[in-house]
Amino acid sequence: MEKFTLIGKNMKRIDTAAKATGEAIFSADLTLPRMLIGKALRSPYPHARIVAIDTSKAERLPGVKAVITAQDMCGDKWGVFRYTQDQQFLPTEKVRYMGEEVAAVAAIDEDTALQALKLIDVQYEALPSVFTIDDAIAAGAPQLHDAYPNNINVHVKIDVGDIEKGFNESYLVREDTFSAPEDAYFQGEPYAVVAQFDQAGNLEIWMPNAGPHMKAKPLSNVLKIPLNKVRVRKITIGGAFGGRSEISPADVICAFLARKAHRPVKIVYTREENTVATRQAHALVTKIKTGVDREGKVLARDITCHMDGGAYSSTGPIATSVPFLCMEQAYRMDNVRYNGYRILTNKPIRGMYRVHGRAFACGIDIQLDMIGAALGIDPLTMRLRNARQTGDYTPTKSYVASCGMTESIVKAGEKSGWKEKFGKLPPYHGIGIGCNSVQTGFPMGIRGGSQAFIKLNEDGGITVITGIVDNGQGNDNMVVQIAAEELGLTPDDVQLISADTEVTPSDPGSYAMCETFIGGNAVRLAAQDVKKKLFRIVAGEFGIGVDNLTARDRKIFVTENPEKSMSIAKAVRIALSRNESISGEGSYWPNVDPKREWVKNPYGQLSETFSFGTVIAEVKVDPETGQVEVLEVTAAQDVGFALNPQVIEGQFEGGVAMGGQGGMLSEFLQWHEGRVLNPTQFGYLVPLAIDMPKINNIIVETIDPNGPYGAKEAGMSVAMSAAQAYCGAISNAVGVYFHDYPITPDKIVKAIEEKKQKENAEVPG
Amino acid sequence: MKREITFKLNNEERKVEVDPGWTLLYVLREVLELTGTKEGCGYGECGACTVIIDGRSVNSCLYPILEAEGRAVTTIEGLRAASGELHPLQRAFVNEGAVQCGFCTAGMIMSAKALIDENEKPTEDDIKDNIAGNLCRCTGYVQIIDAIKTAAGGGRT
């Protein structure tokens, strides 16, 4: 008999038929009786003092039911951490970026709401602004917040081993600087919120979110109502990629409008609002100094990274750390110093993004290529010589329980034909490799663990209750798959109640790739709890030990004698008739160091386990136009164990599109004095079907000792290492190492011209 | 001033009072409550609002409602058979893993339907060209292309 019936096999996702028929309801699709339309008035200045706001004309406009300003709120400041509480949902004193919310209206329709916005008179006193990292930290620069002198929002300092000794012992040392502007999340679904209050003052609210509990707490704080009155409801979510992590001013504004108007309110962001006023990914400048021995093994690294954080902290301490942490996981580096600075500028707010910092990961990797070239070692071998291994500790003291980095490098190398191709391709053809690693969660305080409940019905079906949220990646299906597997049921036998703060227990949310590992384990434990109780009943009836039973095909049968069985439905009815509880409960708390803190103590177990991935890309560059044609991409990742291979392959392919194709070839935000010039798809070039190369997927399984069935996470390492592989491949094709990303055609043409000029200059006569 | 227009929607004659400034997308979503068709941008960039008008795929966010007079409009809600059975494209999207967050799915399926109604055996390039106006941020398009191939009878089953 096969070990599993559902786990490890391609399974049709339970949520996708509703999406393919148009029946799935997203936030903007909701309509409630008497619902109003809300709109926010946004600052036209990047930095200005708010002198006065007059809303009287807007309030008198027929059809307007509520107008709010900072006066309606208590001036509370929100922050992910106590030490980063710096953002008011409607600012009282000044605006800090162009597009920041200043006031809001709710009206009977969109036209009236937009007309009302024009009637709000805000007097601003423009203040000097800063738009670049250099300008922001220059002496005498305008200051955004009193709490952050010199506009330094966060400084993460990590110092491990003895880097001076490491550099002294190095055979070769190089220092390079890498940079990249901001990227946009560009989720399919523009942000939307619907809020309503009932007569008892309970808030019901729907919005895209990465964790309903993470939304509920700040709403409770700012609305001054108990947490049990905030009901963040489950809704279909159109992508997150890190950009739906926190409370949004839109959530709070919508709730305040609904409370003031005594009617439901819906706010739907335009595409521009989604790009400007949700979150963006950080711009980075990373200086990397690396020393290696003769064999290319890294002996010391000194990294300084400046990140443009925009106007507020957001997830700043995490965002400032993660680019480094991913790379310290991926590669061994015993002596390393990291100084990460998040700098505030008068630009929109930056958050956590799926591809954590192109100018960091690509910098580390392309520098390995440069060093390898100097030593006569090819890039793949450079990776193998520095690859993280099972049983290692990372520099910041995380134990690595399972690691398939080497296997992913070797397998990707074989599949892509690396040996036959590297150094042997025709002119302007190139091949490149990137390696990366991501966490499966990190210390998240009291919300770091997940709990799940399972209720049984008298027909043998179950309802699983969990806080796990699905942003589109397939988490709902993962829950059903695990519960059905454990209890020997079919997916149709399982109902799911999830991501609803009124009903579902605590869960970290879909952050840092933790849902499979943490939430999945909790659901599995809840199902095992139920199974244990059912087995007790059946064992009693059959007069045998509980260890001799198996659950499969909606039955519990004697393992050695499958003819002898009882339906789960019958076991449930026996339990009911005896008033015996058979509900299940499971909770999982990951083995992370609770004393670890991003800034104060960045050492200790960060995440219980990590995924590791390698991407190899092969490209052809047109030297005349600088256009890059990507011929083939091979993506390999250690996922621990593939719960649902089809879903994992979809994550790999999506990761290649976002990290490689978009992240390294075309995606970047353009600016003019704090204004985003390309907030829509016309100027912000997200990959389309016609752009996509052939992709080979390689699933590497290391069976993590503590992951559910050995699983870790599906696809994040690929998204990140794809950017690195593209960077390496283009550099290899052109014969120039690129330091500024994305590598757009203009940069390629320029690099080729400069290379030619240099070569001509070197040829005598 | 409102005007009444008549068009065929998912094989049913419909009379709707409209404001001449409205788009077809607005009428579908806000008046007729057919929210399967999504608005991703409102400028005809992303294709989430794709519907079929007289056999051609169209961005409904750019389509003036008065232009719909007398035409046949098919939305994602009109694809299922009367029996409730999924359209082969819908089935293929589900089976091939072509749906992740699902926001682009309706538009993607409608674009694909217009293609395979006209071309029973599209090549991979035909498919890529056909959905070049449909943005998907999740999938990397591979499983979407596989699904369209399967539904057109040319791919794996």
Instruction: Give pLDDT tens digits for A104-143.
Output: 999 999 999 999 999 999 999 999 999 999 999 999 999 9
A270 reaches B (C-beta below 8 A): yes
Integer CA distances (angstroms), A654 to A355, A738, B24, B147, in order: 12, 24, 31, 16
Closest by CA position to B113, among listed B141, B75, B139: B75
Same domain? For B52 and B34 the reply is: yes
B38 and A187 within 8 Å at the Cβ level: the answer is no
A271 and B40 within 8 Å at the Cβ level: the answer is yes
Closest by CA position to A285, among listed A354, A339, A330: A339
Report the C-alpha gap between A694 and A629 in whole angstroms: 11
- Chain A residues with CB under 8 Å of B134 CB are 688-689
Same domain? For B22 and B45 the reply is: yes
A241 reaches B (C-beta below 8 A): yes
Same domain? For B130 and B73 the reply is: no
Overall average pLDDT of the A500-508 stretch: 96
Exposure string over A321-343, b if 16+ CB within 10 A, otherwise e: bbbbbbbbbbbbbbbbbbbbbbb
pLDDT for residue A123: 98
Identify whether A742 is preceded by a cis peptide bond (ω within 30 of 0): yes
Q: How many CB pairs under 8 A join A and B?
A: 183
Overall average pLDDT of the A655-670 stretch: 98
Same domain? For B48 and B93 the reply is: no
B14 reaches A (C-beta below 8 A): no
Say if residues B9 and B75 touch (Cβ distance below 8 Å). yes
> Which domain covers residue B12, as residue numbers?
3-78
Report the C-alpha gap between A480 and A618 in whole angstroms: 38
| Cα of B127 to nearest chain A Cα, Å | 9
Model confidence pLDDT, tens digit, residues A85-97: 999 999 999 999 9
Give the 3-state secondary structure of B16-65: EEECCCCEHHHHHHHHCCCCCCCCCCCCCCCCCCEEEECCEEEEHHHCEH
* Contact residues for B64 (Cβ-Cβ < 8 A; gap 6+): B20, B22, B23, B24
Structure tokens at A400: 């690595």
The DSSP bridge partners found for residue B3 are B18
- Chain B residues with CB under 8 Å of A28 CB are 35, 38-39
Report the C-alpha gap between B118 and A576 in whole angstroms: 58
Nearest residue of A to residue B134, measured between CA atoms: A688
B102 → closest Cβ in A10, A236, A686:
A236
Structure tokens at A569: 């439905």
A20 and B94 within 8 Å at the Cβ level: the answer is yes
- Report the CATH number at residue B96: 1.10.150.120
pLDDT for residue A512: 87
Same domain? For B93 and B72 the reply is: no
- CB atoms closer than 10 angstroms to residue A234: 20
A656 → closest Cβ in B42, B101, B140:
B140
- Chain B residues with CB under 8 Å of A692 CB are 128, 140-142
Q: Which range is least confidently modeled, A120-129, A478-487, A628-637, A711-720? A: A711-720
Asked if residue A521 has pLDDT above 70, the reply is yes
Closest by CA position to A116, among listed A170, A68, A158, A57: A57
pLDDT for residue B154: 56
A21 reaches B (C-beta below 8 A): yes
- Chain A residues with CB under 8 Å of B96 CB are 646
Within the 73-112 window of chain B, which residues sit less than 8 Å (CB to CB) from chain A?
75-77, 79-80, 86, 90, 93-97, 99-106, 109
Look up tokens 């990291």; give the residue: A338
Asked if residue A252 has pLDDT above 70, the reply is yes
Within the 477-496 window of chain A, which residues sit less than 8 Å (CB to CB) from chain B?
none
Report the C-alpha gap between B24 and B5 in whole angstroms: 12
Q: Phi and psi for A172 in degrees, rounded to 5? A: -145, 135
| Cα of B5 to nearest chain A Cα, Å | 22
Structure tokens at A429: 């053809």
Same domain? For B7 and B27 the reply is: yes
Q: Is A478 helix (H, G, I), strand (E, B) or coil?
A: helix
B10 reaches A (C-beta below 8 A): no
Model confidence pLDDT, tens digit, residues A305-342: 999 999 999 999 999 999 999 999 999 999 999 999 99
| Burial of A740 per CB tally in 10 Å (0-12, 13-18, 19+) | middle
Same domain? For B64 and B100 the reply is: no
B12 reaches A (C-beta below 8 A): no
Point out the residues of chain B with pLDDT beneath 50.
155-157
| Cα of B145 to nearest chain A Cα, Å | 8
Per the structure, the count of domains in chain B is 2
Asked if residue A469 has pLDDT above 70, the reply is yes
Same domain? For B123 and B57 the reply is: no
| Cα of B81 to nearest chain A Cα, Å | 11
The ipTM of this complex is: 0.98
Asked if residue A1 has pLDDT above 80, the reply is no
pLDDT for residue A715: 85
Nearest residue of B to residue A470, measured between CA atoms: B101
Q: Which amino acid is at A534?
A: L
Closest by CA position to A260, among listed A71, A445, A81, A92: A71
Within the 615-674 window of chain A, which residues sit less than 8 Å (CB to CB) from chain B?
646-647, 649-650, 652-658, 661
B38 and A656 within 8 Å at the Cβ level: the answer is no
Same domain? For B95 and B136 the reply is: yes
pLDDT for residue A763: 75
Q: Phi and psi for A419 in degrees, rounded to 5? A: -60, -40
B151 reaches A (C-beta below 8 A): no
Is there a domain that residue B156 lies in?
Answer: no
| Ramachandran area for residue A582 (φ above 0: left; ψ -120 to 50: alpha; else beta) | alpha
- CB atoms closer than 10 angstroms to residue B124: 14
Within the 32-71 window of chain B, which residues sit less than 8 Å (CB to CB) from chain A?
33-43, 45-46, 48
Give the residue from B47, B78, B109 where a domain finishes.
B78
Q: Is the C-alpha dihedral spanning A216, A42, A241, A176 positive or negative?
A: negative
Structure tokens at A218: 């700040």
- Chain A residues with CB under 8 Å of B132 CB are 688-690
Q: How many Å is the Cα radius of gyration of chain B?
A: 15
| Cα of B82 to nearest chain A Cα, Å | 13
A111 reaches B (C-beta below 8 A): no
- Report the CATH number at residue B74: 3.10.20.30
Report the C-alpha gap between B111 and B153 in whole angstroms: 17
Same domain? For B19 and B56 the reply is: yes
Closest by CA position to A147, among listed A217, A98, A97, A79: A79
B128 → closest Cβ in A10, A22, A690:
A690
Same domain? For B7 and B53 the reply is: yes
Model confidence pLDDT, tens digit, residues A162-191: 999 999 999 999 999 999 999 999 999 999
Give the residue from B78, B104, B119 where a domain finishes.
B78
Same domain? For B61 and B33 the reply is: yes
pLDDT for residue A765: 55
pLDDT for residue B157: 42
B19 reaches A (C-beta below 8 A): no
Closest by CA position to A252, among listed A227, A279, A200, A216: A216
Model confidence pLDDT, tens digit, residues B105-134: 999 999 999 999 999 999 999 999 999 999
Structure tokens at A505: 């227990």
B138 reaches A (C-beta below 8 A): yes
pLDDT band at A650 (very low <50, low <70, confident <90, very high): very high
Say if residues A335 and A301 touch (Cβ distance below 8 Å). yes
Q: What is the mean pLDDT of chain A?
A: 97
- Chain A residues with CB under 8 Å of B100 CB are 239, 472-474, 650, 654
The DSSP bridge partners found for residue A291 are A173, A300
Give the residue from B78, B100, B133 where a domain finishes.
B78
Is there a domain that residue B61 lies in?
Answer: yes
* Complete domains list, chain A, with CATH: 16-22+444-588 (3.30.365.10), 32-127+196-238+244-274 (3.90.1170.50), 280-443+596-757 (3.30.365.10)
